[in-house]
Protein backbone atom coordinates (compact mmCIF):
# COMPACT_ATOMS: atom_id res chain seq x y z
CA UNK A 1 0.00 0.00 0.00
CA UNK A 2 2.82 2.39 0.87
CA UNK A 3 4.53 1.58 -2.41
CA UNK A 4 1.31 2.36 -4.31
CA UNK A 5 0.97 5.75 -2.62
CA UNK A 6 4.61 6.41 -3.37
CA UNK A 7 4.14 5.72 -7.07
CA UNK A 8 1.03 7.89 -7.23
CA UNK A 9 2.85 10.67 -5.40
CA UNK A 10 5.83 10.53 -7.76
CA UNK A 11 3.51 10.53 -10.77
CA UNK A 12 1.70 13.62 -9.49
CA UNK A 13 4.97 15.39 -8.65
CA UNK A 14 6.37 14.71 -12.13
CA UNK A 15 3.24 16.05 -13.82
CA UNK A 16 3.15 19.13 -11.58
CA UNK A 17 6.80 19.84 -12.47
CA UNK A 18 5.99 19.50 -16.18
CA UNK A 19 2.91 21.75 -16.01
CA UNK A 20 4.69 24.44 -14.00
CA UNK A 21 7.78 24.33 -16.21
CA UNK A 22 5.81 24.54 -19.45
CA UNK A 23 3.57 27.30 -18.11
CA UNK A 24 6.64 29.32 -17.11
CA UNK A 25 8.26 28.76 -20.51
CA UNK A 26 5.10 29.87 -22.33
CA UNK A 27 5.05 33.01 -20.20
CA UNK A 28 8.74 33.73 -20.89
CA UNK A 29 8.14 33.29 -24.62
CA UNK A 30 5.08 35.56 -24.34
CA UNK A 31 2.88 33.05 -26.12
CA UNK A 32 -0.59 34.52 -26.57
CA UNK A 33 -3.90 32.59 -26.61
CA UNK A 34 -4.36 30.86 -29.96
CA UNK A 35 -8.15 31.22 -29.84
CA UNK A 36 -9.14 34.84 -30.44
CA UNK A 37 -12.27 36.73 -31.40
CA UNK A 38 -10.93 36.76 -34.97
CA UNK A 39 -10.44 33.00 -35.16
CA UNK A 40 -7.43 30.71 -34.81
CA UNK A 41 -3.95 32.21 -34.59
CA UNK A 42 -1.90 29.54 -36.35
CA UNK A 43 1.47 30.97 -35.29
CA UNK A 44 0.59 31.08 -31.60
CA UNK A 45 -1.01 27.64 -31.86
CA UNK A 46 2.14 26.21 -33.43
CA UNK A 47 4.36 27.63 -30.69
CA UNK A 48 1.95 26.46 -27.98
CA UNK A 49 1.82 22.88 -29.33
CA UNK A 50 5.57 22.68 -29.93
CA UNK A 51 6.40 23.87 -26.41
CA UNK A 52 3.90 21.54 -24.76
CA UNK A 53 4.74 18.57 -26.99
CA UNK A 54 8.52 18.78 -26.63
CA UNK A 55 8.79 20.05 -23.06
CA UNK A 56 6.89 17.20 -21.45
CA UNK A 57 8.99 14.62 -23.28
CA UNK A 58 12.29 16.36 -22.55
CA UNK A 59 11.54 16.89 -18.86
CA UNK A 60 10.60 13.21 -18.53
CA UNK A 61 13.90 12.29 -20.20
CA UNK A 62 15.94 14.56 -17.91
CA UNK A 63 14.34 12.95 -14.86
CA UNK A 64 14.35 9.40 -16.27
CA UNK A 65 17.23 8.06 -14.15
CA UNK A 66 15.79 9.40 -10.92
CA UNK A 67 12.29 8.27 -11.86
CA UNK A 68 13.56 4.73 -12.56
CA UNK A 69 15.31 4.58 -9.20
CA UNK A 70 12.31 5.90 -7.29
CA UNK A 71 9.57 3.91 -9.00
CA UNK A 72 11.39 0.59 -9.36
CA UNK A 73 13.49 0.90 -6.22
CA UNK A 74 16.72 0.43 -8.18
CA UNK A 75 19.76 -0.14 -5.96
CA UNK A 76 23.07 0.87 -7.47
CA UNK A 77 25.77 -1.78 -7.76
CA UNK A 78 28.99 -0.20 -6.54
CA UNK A 79 32.57 -1.19 -7.37
CA UNK A 80 33.03 -2.86 -3.97
CA UNK A 81 29.94 -5.09 -4.36
CA UNK A 82 30.44 -8.43 -2.57
CA UNK A 83 27.64 -10.36 -4.26
CA UNK A 84 29.35 -12.38 -7.01
CA UNK A 85 26.45 -12.16 -9.46
CA UNK A 86 26.07 -8.41 -9.04
CA UNK A 87 29.81 -7.95 -9.25
CA UNK A 88 29.73 -9.89 -12.53
CA UNK A 89 27.04 -7.55 -13.88
CA UNK A 90 29.10 -4.48 -13.04
CA UNK A 91 32.26 -5.94 -14.60
CA UNK A 92 30.40 -6.70 -17.83
CA UNK A 93 29.07 -3.14 -18.00
CA UNK A 94 32.57 -1.77 -17.38
CA UNK A 95 34.05 -3.93 -20.12
CA UNK A 96 31.36 -3.12 -22.67
CA UNK A 97 31.43 0.60 -21.89
CA UNK A 98 35.16 0.58 -22.57
CA UNK A 99 34.65 -1.34 -25.82
CA UNK A 100 32.05 1.20 -26.97
CA UNK A 101 34.06 4.20 -25.80
CA UNK A 102 31.30 5.24 -23.41
CA UNK A 103 31.53 6.79 -19.95
CA UNK A 104 30.76 4.25 -17.25
CA UNK A 105 26.98 4.31 -16.67
CA UNK A 106 25.34 3.71 -13.33
CA UNK A 107 24.57 0.03 -12.81
CA UNK A 108 21.66 -1.13 -10.69
CA UNK A 109 19.38 -3.97 -9.70
CA UNK A 110 15.64 -3.89 -9.00
CA UNK A 111 14.02 -6.56 -6.88
CA UNK A 112 11.36 -8.33 -8.94
CA UNK A 113 11.07 -11.95 -10.09
CA UNK A 114 10.19 -10.74 -13.59
CA UNK A 115 13.05 -11.39 -16.03
CA UNK A 116 13.90 -7.97 -17.42
CA UNK A 117 16.46 -5.23 -17.92
CA UNK A 118 16.43 -1.64 -19.13
CA UNK A 119 18.61 1.31 -19.98
CA UNK A 120 17.59 4.92 -19.47
CA UNK A 121 19.06 8.36 -18.94
CA UNK A 122 19.21 11.76 -20.66
CA UNK A 123 22.58 11.20 -22.36
CA UNK A 124 25.43 8.74 -22.87
CA UNK A 125 27.30 10.30 -19.94
CA UNK A 126 24.27 10.23 -17.62
CA UNK A 127 22.82 6.79 -18.20
CA UNK A 128 21.64 3.87 -16.09
CA UNK A 129 21.61 0.15 -16.86
CA UNK A 130 19.55 -1.98 -14.50
CA UNK A 131 18.75 -5.68 -14.34
CA UNK A 132 16.06 -7.46 -12.37
CA UNK A 133 16.67 -10.10 -9.74
CA UNK A 134 14.62 -12.44 -11.91
CA UNK A 135 17.04 -11.99 -14.80
CA UNK A 136 20.03 -12.81 -12.60
CA UNK A 137 18.30 -15.88 -11.13
CA UNK A 138 17.04 -17.31 -14.43
CA UNK A 139 19.72 -16.57 -17.03
CA UNK A 140 23.28 -17.83 -17.31
CA UNK A 141 26.24 -15.46 -17.18
CA UNK A 142 26.64 -15.73 -20.96
CA UNK A 143 23.00 -14.78 -21.50
CA UNK A 144 23.23 -11.91 -19.01
CA UNK A 145 26.28 -10.63 -20.89
CA UNK A 146 24.25 -10.55 -24.12
CA UNK A 147 21.28 -8.81 -22.47
CA UNK A 148 23.56 -6.15 -21.00
CA UNK A 149 25.15 -5.75 -24.45
CA UNK A 150 21.68 -5.10 -25.86
CA UNK A 151 21.04 -2.38 -23.27
CA UNK A 152 24.51 -0.86 -23.70
CA UNK A 153 23.83 -0.66 -27.44
CA UNK A 154 20.72 1.41 -26.69
CA UNK A 155 22.95 3.87 -24.85
CA UNK A 156 25.62 3.89 -27.57
CA UNK A 157 22.98 4.47 -30.25
CA UNK A 158 21.43 7.36 -28.32
CA UNK A 159 18.06 5.63 -28.40
CA UNK A 160 16.71 7.35 -25.29
CA UNK A 161 17.22 10.82 -26.80
CA UNK A 162 15.97 9.78 -30.26
CA UNK A 163 12.79 8.24 -28.86
CA UNK A 164 12.18 11.31 -26.72
CA UNK A 165 12.55 13.67 -29.68
CA UNK A 166 10.27 11.49 -31.80
CA UNK A 167 7.67 11.36 -29.03
CA UNK A 168 7.86 15.14 -28.61
CA UNK A 169 7.39 15.79 -32.33
CA UNK A 170 4.45 13.38 -32.49
CA UNK A 171 2.90 15.03 -29.42
CA UNK A 172 3.23 18.47 -31.02
CA UNK A 173 1.67 17.35 -34.31
CA UNK A 174 -1.17 15.58 -32.50
CA UNK A 175 -2.01 18.72 -30.52
CA UNK A 176 -1.70 21.00 -33.56
CA UNK A 177 -3.71 18.94 -36.06
CA UNK A 178 -6.41 18.11 -33.51
CA UNK A 179 -6.98 21.79 -32.74
CA UNK A 180 -6.94 22.93 -36.37
CA UNK A 181 -9.51 20.31 -37.41
CA UNK A 182 -11.57 20.89 -34.28
CA UNK A 183 -11.69 24.63 -34.99
CA UNK A 184 -12.69 24.06 -38.61
CA UNK A 185 -15.53 21.70 -37.69
CA UNK A 186 -16.80 23.73 -34.75
CA UNK A 187 -16.73 26.93 -36.81
CA UNK A 188 -18.62 25.26 -39.66
CA UNK A 189 -21.18 23.77 -37.33
CA UNK A 190 -21.83 27.01 -35.49
CA UNK A 191 -21.64 29.43 -38.44
CA UNK A 192 -25.39 30.00 -38.35
CA UNK A 193 -25.46 30.26 -34.57
CA UNK A 194 -24.41 33.43 -32.83
CA UNK A 195 -23.23 31.55 -29.75
CA UNK A 196 -19.57 31.73 -28.79
CA UNK A 197 -20.03 29.39 -25.81
CA UNK A 198 -21.57 26.73 -28.09
CA UNK A 199 -18.68 27.10 -30.52
CA UNK A 200 -16.10 26.79 -27.74
CA UNK A 201 -17.86 23.73 -26.34
CA UNK A 202 -17.83 21.90 -29.66
CA UNK A 203 -14.20 22.97 -30.24
CA UNK A 204 -13.01 21.31 -27.03
CA UNK A 205 -15.12 18.21 -27.71
CA UNK A 206 -13.72 17.83 -31.23
CA UNK A 207 -10.21 18.48 -29.93
CA UNK A 208 -10.55 15.63 -27.43
CA UNK A 209 -11.82 13.21 -30.10
CA UNK A 210 -9.16 14.14 -32.67
CA UNK A 211 -6.36 13.91 -30.10
CA UNK A 212 -7.35 10.33 -29.32
CA UNK A 213 -7.43 9.43 -33.03
CA UNK A 214 -4.11 11.11 -33.84
CA UNK A 215 -2.44 9.71 -30.72
CA UNK A 216 -3.32 6.19 -31.89
CA UNK A 217 -1.92 6.93 -35.36
CA UNK A 218 1.18 8.56 -33.86
CA UNK A 219 1.78 5.57 -31.61
CA UNK A 220 2.06 3.40 -34.73
CA UNK A 221 4.99 5.53 -35.92
CA UNK A 222 6.69 5.46 -32.53
CA UNK A 223 6.20 1.71 -32.14
CA UNK A 224 7.55 1.03 -35.64
CA UNK A 225 10.73 2.99 -34.96
CA UNK A 226 11.10 1.36 -31.55
CA UNK A 227 10.96 -2.09 -33.14
CA UNK A 228 13.67 -1.03 -35.59
CA UNK A 229 15.95 0.11 -32.76
CA UNK A 230 15.38 -3.19 -30.93
CA UNK A 231 16.71 -5.11 -33.92
CA UNK A 232 19.67 -2.73 -33.98
CA UNK A 233 20.30 -3.21 -30.24
CA UNK A 234 20.15 -6.99 -30.69
CA UNK A 235 22.86 -6.68 -33.35
CA UNK A 236 24.90 -4.55 -30.97
CA UNK A 237 24.48 -7.09 -28.20
CA UNK A 238 25.65 -9.83 -30.55
CA UNK A 239 28.77 -7.84 -31.43
CA UNK A 240 29.59 -7.15 -27.78
CA UNK A 241 29.11 -10.77 -26.71
CA UNK A 242 28.46 -13.13 -29.62
CA UNK A 243 25.60 -14.04 -31.92
CA UNK A 244 25.12 -17.38 -30.19
CA UNK A 245 24.96 -15.75 -26.76
CA UNK A 246 22.41 -13.19 -27.96
CA UNK A 247 20.25 -15.90 -29.50
CA UNK A 248 20.50 -18.01 -26.34
CA UNK A 249 19.49 -14.99 -24.24
CA UNK A 250 16.46 -14.23 -26.42
CA UNK A 251 15.45 -17.88 -26.38
CA UNK A 252 15.62 -17.96 -22.58
CA UNK A 253 13.68 -14.70 -22.34
CA UNK A 254 10.97 -16.15 -24.54
CA UNK A 255 10.80 -19.24 -22.35
CA UNK A 256 10.72 -17.69 -18.90
CA UNK A 257 9.39 -14.20 -19.50
CA UNK A 258 6.27 -13.01 -17.74
CA UNK A 259 3.97 -11.43 -20.35
CA UNK A 260 3.67 -8.17 -18.40
CA UNK A 261 6.00 -5.53 -17.06
CA UNK A 262 6.64 -5.21 -13.33
CA UNK A 263 3.60 -3.54 -11.81
CA UNK A 264 5.80 -0.79 -10.43
CA UNK A 265 7.18 0.08 -13.87
CA UNK A 266 5.85 3.21 -15.46
CA UNK A 267 5.06 3.57 -19.14
CA UNK A 268 8.06 5.87 -19.58
CA UNK A 269 10.35 2.90 -18.96
CA UNK A 270 8.46 0.44 -21.14
CA UNK A 271 10.29 1.32 -24.34
CA UNK A 272 13.64 0.37 -22.82
CA UNK A 273 12.67 -2.98 -21.36
CA UNK A 274 13.02 -6.34 -23.02
CA UNK A 275 9.53 -7.65 -23.68
CA UNK A 276 8.09 -11.04 -24.37
CA UNK A 277 6.13 -11.99 -27.51
CA UNK A 278 3.11 -9.72 -28.07
CA UNK A 279 -0.15 -11.12 -29.39
CA UNK A 280 -0.94 -10.56 -33.06
CA UNK A 281 -3.63 -8.06 -32.15
CA UNK A 282 -1.16 -5.69 -30.53
CA UNK A 283 1.95 -6.22 -32.67
CA UNK A 284 1.39 -2.99 -34.62
CA UNK A 285 1.45 -1.05 -31.35
CA UNK A 286 4.23 -3.08 -29.73
CA UNK A 287 7.53 -1.37 -29.01
CA UNK A 288 9.38 -4.69 -29.34
CA UNK A 289 9.25 -7.27 -32.15
CA UNK A 290 8.29 -10.84 -31.30
CA UNK A 291 11.28 -12.72 -29.94
CA UNK A 292 11.17 -15.33 -32.71
CA UNK A 293 11.52 -12.57 -35.32
CA UNK A 294 14.45 -11.09 -33.42
CA UNK A 295 16.16 -14.47 -33.43
CA UNK A 296 15.46 -14.93 -37.15
CA UNK A 297 16.94 -11.50 -37.88
CA UNK A 298 20.12 -12.37 -35.98
CA UNK A 299 20.48 -15.70 -37.74
CA UNK A 300 20.02 -14.15 -41.18
CA UNK A 301 22.35 -11.23 -40.48
CA UNK A 302 25.04 -13.24 -38.71
CA UNK A 303 24.86 -16.80 -40.11
CA UNK A 304 26.93 -19.39 -38.33
What span, in angstroms and rounded, lies between the C-alpha atoms of 221 and 235?
22
Q: Which helix (H) or strand (E) element contains residue 122?
A: strand 117-123
Q: 36: which DSSP letter?
A: E
What span, in angstroms and rounded, lies between the C-alpha atoms of 1 and 15?
21
Active site residue 142: no
Which one of the listed residues 143, 151, 211, 230 is annotated catalytic? 151
- Mark out the alpha helices in 29-140 (DSSP H runs): 42-62, 64-72, 84-100, 133-138
> Rg for the chain (alpha carbons), in Å?
22
Q: Measuring CA to CA, how many Å separate 24 from each of 11, 28, 41, 169, 276?
A: 20, 6, 21, 20, 41
Catalytic positions:
151
Amino acid sequence: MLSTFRRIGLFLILNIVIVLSVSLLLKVLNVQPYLTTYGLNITQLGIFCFVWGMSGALISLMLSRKTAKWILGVRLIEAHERDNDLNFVRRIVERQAAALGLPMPEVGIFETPVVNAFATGPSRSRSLVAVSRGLINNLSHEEIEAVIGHEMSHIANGDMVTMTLLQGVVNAFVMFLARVLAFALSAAGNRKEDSRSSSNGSFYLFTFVFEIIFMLLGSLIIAAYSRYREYRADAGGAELSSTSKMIKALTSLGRVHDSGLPKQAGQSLEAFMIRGNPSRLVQLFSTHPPIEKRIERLKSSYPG
